[in-house]
Amino acid sequence: MPKRLNLPDTASVATPDAEGRLFAPSAARNAEAIVALTADILEETTGRALEIASGTGQHITALAAALPDIHWQPSDIDPDRRKSIDAYAKAAALPNIAPAIALDATSPGWGAAHTGQAFICLANLLHLISEKEARILISEAAQALAPNGRLMIYGPFMRDDDLTSEGDASFHASLVAQDPEIGYKSDFDVVEWGLSAWLEYDDMVEMPANNLSIIWRKPS
């Protein structure tokens, strides 16, 4: 069995409905911006895409609806979240979403089992895992990407080691108080971790609510 991340109670809020679909207000708020950026990144792209830590399933159903030429593979470490993802996919009745798979992207070795991805994305996880786990995740994602494939990581980050809002400073402090190995990562550090995994830096995009999307490309 894959390990469960011991995430703080403040990290994620999701409530279930009668069909087993979990609803996270934060995912609903940021889905439109994430989908719009992904559509720009993947313009004229076809093939397979992997979402790491798909959570409730709100993001991947929105992505699959907007990008029908991509075959989307959701994943999550938590079986309850995988049930929610599959419930969203069933309700959406989209042919380009595969059943959710169990994947602990913070463990070494998974990249070789998921090669050939045109796109890998991750939202709102990096601040909830350690630096060591984050670097493993990025290096394994780099291995899983096809040539010219892109990796996009979305979420809250420090800007050059600084927390730039009171809300971010408070949330970061609450995370570190519960586990000193987790918390916000600095944007430039994360860019360097991708470069260390032999990815090419592509872009860094400011997103709503003081979030960032960091994007790399795998060389051809």
Confidence (pLDDT) at 15: 72
CB 7: neighbour CB atoms within 10 A?
A: 16
What SS3 state is found at 73? strand
Task: Using the predicted structure, report yes or no on whether residue 106 has a pLDDT greater than 90.
Answer: yes
Rounded Cα–Cα distance for residues 117 and 151 (Å): 9
What SS3 state is found at 97? strand
Confidence (pLDDT) at 13: 58
Task: Using the predicted structure, report yes or no on whether residue 4 has a pLDDT greater than 80.
Answer: no
Share of the chain above pLDDT 70, in %: 94
| Residues 6+ away with beta carbon under 8 Å from 90 | none
Confidence (pLDDT) at 17: 79
Average pLDDT over the chain, rounded to an integer? 93
Confidence (pLDDT) at 12: 53
Segment 83-103 mean pLDDT:
96
Say if strands 117-123 and 101-102 run parallel, antiparallel, or are unpaired. unpaired
Rounded Cα–Cα distance for residues 139 and 153 (Å): 13
Segment 62-69 mean pLDDT:
97
Task: Using the predicted structure, report yes or no on whether residue 210 has a pLDDT greater than 60.
Answer: yes
Rounded Cα–Cα distance for residues 79 and 49 (Å): 21
Confidence (pLDDT) at 20: 84
Domain 15-217 annotated CATH 3.40.50.10860: no
Segment 98-108 mean pLDDT:
97
Task: Using the predicted structure, report yes or no on whether residue 49 has a pLDDT greater than 90.
Answer: yes
Task: Using the predicted structure, report yes or no on whether residue 3 has a pLDDT greater than 90.
Answer: no
Tokens of 179: 């586990």
Segment 129-150 mean pLDDT:
98
